[in-house]
Amino acid sequence: MEREDAAKRIAQLSDELERHNHLYYVAAKPVISDRDFDLLMKELETLETQWPQLASPNSPTQRVGGDLTKNFETVPHRWPMLSLSNSYSREEVEEFVQRIVKENGKTLFTLELKYDGVAISLSYQNGELVRGLTRGDGEKGDDITANVRTVRSIPLRLRGNPPAELEARGEILMGRKEFEKLNKQREEEGEELFANPRNTTAGTLKLQDPKTVAKRGLQNFIYTLQSDALPTRSHYGNILQCQAWGFRTPDPAKRFIEQSDSLDGIMAFIAYWDKARNELDIAIDGVVIKVDNIDLQEELGLRAKSPRWAIAYKFQAEQKFTRLNGVEFNVGRTGAITPVALLEPVELAGTTVKRASIHNADQIAKLDLHISDFVQVEKGGEIIPKITAVDLDRRTEGAVPVTYPEHCPACGTALVRDEGEAQHYCPNEHGCPPQITRRMEHFTSRRAMDIGGLGGETIETLFQAGLAKNVADLYDITKDQLLALGKGWGERSAGLVIDGIQASKAIPFERVLFALGIRHVGETVAKKLARAVGSMDKLAAMPLEELTAVDEVGAVIAESVREFFSVEGNRETVERLRNAGLQMAVEAGEDKVVGTKLTGLSFVVSGVFVNFTRDSIKEAIENNGGKVGSSISKKTSYVVAGADMGPAKRAKAEELGVPVIAEDELQAMIDA
């Protein structure tokens, strides 16, 4: 066969196999037998072996998995991949709907099932799959493209005429039947059984062998699109277009509703699926409510980690009673003491629960817990087990009450409880072993210094060996010291840790600040502080009143920062980290503020603009010292109005006397 003939036949076979693949896995309407499908696949495999230069990475043959993946590259998301805010009652849903309608008038919402799987972002260029990323931290995720290609309900090539660049986002999951089949096979082979479909899916997608992934029977549902050229300005319309391109989506007739502009309609959809969810082969844990109009979605904007135009209603968690065998008290990285219940194992929401949170001393007292009590356990948000009640009628005579310790269970230091705080703390931050090791775990984590190879067990080993008693000690460790630890340490593993420690010296200041683990200073606050203050030296010397003036830094956070730098051990640690080469200031160009013309002013942006996108106009405000809000209030300085600004917002501005300006007026303020 000549090259030209081979190319034509490969293209023909690829198209035909993809068509049959879609009919079988997406449309559930197969038209040929499995044997005929396998014969076509065998012919394609033979031709690609003879003509490897003609084989495409998106060939149907890649569905069975390719070579081993040594590691997963971390890649930034072009658009942030956010989580959803959760609600658990009609009142919370009503509050969400009324907020949207009050500001924007009558609003159309779409409703869809909330799948309990693993979020995935699929990137296509000119209709070809080029990358599959996990959610990761929302800003960047792991590239698991080789594993994604094995999921047969994910099209490798799109039909029709999709945008040149497109991201389709959805959920990869495992059906209950496939999960039971997998566990039965593992039981027969004498292997440990998997806990539940969701965790199994997450673990499967991180396997290094795509051939194993291909055998797990994973499924995919797409529920949103990202593109500079969306096919419609309706979320529901875009989902219908996804179907036309070949994606598997929620069923518009049953699992997705085109329109609902009333609270009763929304709650009826939720009530139906709360009962019907057990009839599905796949797990769902709630219903997602979204504003349908894309323009309105963009106007409503985003919070730090979730959109303002969508909310998830979570079904009530399953509850069961089991015996309380004991309580252990764990010490966290900040010294917080967390009581954990040790339970008689009980099946709950698809998993075996042996431990549950009790939160704090007040919760123990409120429940009046006794050892051997029968306690009601539920999964908060279907994830974290917690004790919610005690069956007093089943309490045995002479049962011993659970008492909260007065001293740290790890180091024996007397516990303290600050006024207004719910938790007790061990104040021995530089001498309490679990505080030290967990602080190091936080310091090396992906969102902080991102030092690979330094997980909890490894850090514990380094601590016990005397190599790391402080986060600064990590930068003194040598490769020879790691190799001398013996079992489990080789040239490669030791080299990876040393390379990771060296690479962390380039991590920007805002993440170094977060990595220090200052109480109440999370990622967002660390970023705000870093950009407002500029350096560690300035932060350490900043008076309390100046700290509280920083955006999103209140009295509690400011006190915590001052307290951190007042401790000599913390100052020594920071100095050692500085000497090790860590970033202690915002680099030139990293701080995007270019002017102060809008300092002290608060803006709300609404409508469509001529010379700006909505994101770029917000960026221009922030770059010049202004603050962008999401809703109009008495504190709003100006509303920047573009075309199609909602009448409700304009009326609100007039009612409160807030000036409404056009984009050219804003530009004039910046240029003045």
Token pair for residue 550?
Answer: 């920083």
Neighbours of 584 (CB within 10 A): 17
Task: Write phi, then psi, for 505 (nearest 5 degrees).
Answer: -70, -15
Q: pTM of this prediction? A: 0.54
Cα torsion 113, 114, 120, 125: sign: positive
Token pair for residue 316?
Answer: 């009530």
Decide if pLDDT at 602 tops 50: yes
Quote the pLDDT of residue 56.
82
The mean pLDDT value for 374-396 works out to 82
The mean pLDDT value for 318-333 works out to 91
Decide if pLDDT at 381 tops 50: no
Residue-wise pLDDT for 211-226, tens only, equals 888 889 999 999 999 9
Decide if pLDDT at 33 tops 90: no
Look at residue 143 and give its three-state secondary structure.
strand
* Cβ-contact 662, 611 below 8 angstroms: no
Q: Residue 494: name the closest of 441, 458, 464, 466 by CA.
A: 458
Token pair 């001529």 is at which residue? 610
* Element containing residue 185 per DSSP (H, E): helix 176-188
Decide if pLDDT at 380 tops 60: no
What distance in Å separates the CA atoms of residue 240 and residue 251, rounded to the nearest whole number? 10
* Cβ-contact 595, 671 below 8 angstroms: no
Sheet of strand 638-641, all strands in order from the earlier edge strand to the far edge = 627-629, 602-606, 638-641, 660-661
Contacts of 539 (CB under 8 A, 6+ apart): 513, 529, 533, 561, 565
Report which DSSP code applies to 461. Answer: H
Token pair for residue 262?
Answer: 């009333």
Decide if pLDDT at 612 tops 50: yes
What distance in Å separates the CA atoms of residue 29 and residue 149, rounded to the nearest whole number? 21
What distance in Å separates the CA atoms of residue 154 and residue 49, rounded to the nearest whole number? 24
What distance in Å separates the CA atoms of residue 424 and residue 633, rounded to the nearest whole number? 38
Report which DSSP code applies to 474. Answer: G
Quote the pLDDT of residue 515.
94
CA distances from 294 to 226, 231, 264, 453, 564 (A): 11, 11, 23, 42, 45
Residue-wise pLDDT for 634-670, tens only, equals 889 999 988 767 677 888 888 888 999 988 889 888 8
Contacts of 443 (CB under 8 A, 6+ apart): 449, 471, 474, 515, 516, 517
Quote the pLDDT of residue 25.
61
Which amino acid makes up residue 595?
A: G
Look at residue 213 and give its three-state secondary structure.
helix
The mean pLDDT value for 556-562 works out to 91
Lowest mean per-residue pLDDT among 145-154, 185-194, 361-370: 185-194
Quote the pLDDT of residue 26.
64
What distance in Å separates the CA atoms of residue 398 and residue 521, rounded to the nearest whole number? 45
Decide if pLDDT at 68 tops 70: no
DSSP collapsed to 3 states, 638-667: EEEECECCCHHHHHHHHHHCCCEECHHHHH
Residue 202 forms beta bridges with which residues? none
The mean pLDDT value for 395-406 works out to 93
Lowest mean per-residue pLDDT among 350-359, 390-399, 538-547: 350-359
User: What angle in degrees, to the nearest 10, is found between the helix axes of 176-188 and 197-205?
Assistant: 80
Task: Write phi, then psi, for 637 (nearest 5 degrees).
Answer: -85, -45
Token pair for residue 243?
Answer: 């179907």
Q: Residue 85: name the closest of 316, 384, 382, 312 by CA.
A: 312
Query: DSSP states of 370-413 as a string?
Result: BTT-EEEEEEETTTEEEEEEE-GGGPPTTPPBP---SB-TTT-P
pLDDT greater at residue 453 or residue 265: 265
Across all residues in the chain, what is the average pLDDT?
86
User: What angle in degrees, to the nearest 10, is found between the helix axes of 663-671 and 614-623?
Assistant: 30
What distance in Å separates the CA atoms of residue 630 and residue 645, rounded to the nearest whole number? 14
Q: Quote the Cα angle for 45-47-51, to 5°.
A: 115
What distance in Å separates the CA atoms of residue 12 and residue 16, rounded to the nearest whole number? 6
Quote the pLDDT of residue 262.
82
What distance in Å separates the CA atoms of residue 486 and residue 503, rounded to the nearest whole number? 25
Quote the pLDDT of residue 422.
81
Cα Rg of the chain (Å, integer) = 28
Decide if pLDDT at 302 tops 80: yes
Decide if pLDDT at 288 tops 90: yes
What distance in Å separates the CA atoms of residue 358 and residue 341, rounded to the nearest whole number? 7
* 638-641 and 660-661 beta bridge pairing: parallel
pLDDT band, residue 382 (cuts 50/70/90): very low
The distance in angstroms from the start CA to the end CA of the chain is: 72
Token pair 């070809």 is at which residue? 128
Q: Residue 111: name the closest of 1, 265, 333 by CA.
A: 265
Q: Residue 528: name the closest of 547, 555, 507, 501 by CA.
A: 547
B/e letters for 30-48, b = 16+ CB within 10 Å, e = fewer, are eeeeeeebeebbeebbebb
Quote the pLDDT of residue 482.
93
Which amino acid makes up residue 298?
A: E
Task: Write phi, then psi, for 253 (nearest 5 degrees).
Answer: -80, -30
Neighbours of 129 (CB within 10 A): 21
Domains, the chain, with CATH or none: 3-64 (1.10.287.610), 86-314 (3.30.470.30), 319-394 (2.40.50.140), 433-506 (1.10.150.20), 509-580 (1.10.150.20), 602-671 (3.40.50.10190)
The mean pLDDT value for 187-208 works out to 79
Helices (H), 411-522: 433-444, 456-464, 479-483, 491-503, 509-515
What distance in Å separates the CA atoms of residue 145 and residue 131, rounded to the nearest whole number? 5
What's CA 597's distance to the chain center, in Å? 36
What distance in Å separates the CA atoms of residue 610 and residue 667, rounded to the nearest whole number? 12
Token pair for residue 416?
Answer: 């303290």
Quote the pLDDT of residue 222.
95
What distance in Å separates the CA atoms of residue 398 and residue 373, rounded to the nearest whole number? 11
Decide if pLDDT at 189 tops 70: no
Which amino acid makes up residue 619?
A: E
Decide if pLDDT at 309 tops 90: yes
Helices (H) and strands (E) in the chain, counts: 24, 20
* Cβ-contact 334, 519 below 8 angstroms: yes
The mean pLDDT value for 482-502 works out to 89
The residues assigned a catalytic role are: 114
Residue-wise pLDDT for 222-249, tens only, equals 999 999 999 999 999 999 999 999 999 9
Decide if pLDDT at 631 tops 90: no
Quote the pLDDT of residue 16.
86
pLDDT band, residue 587 (cuts 50/70/90): confident
Q: Residue 323: name the closest of 403, 404, 387, 398 by CA.
A: 387
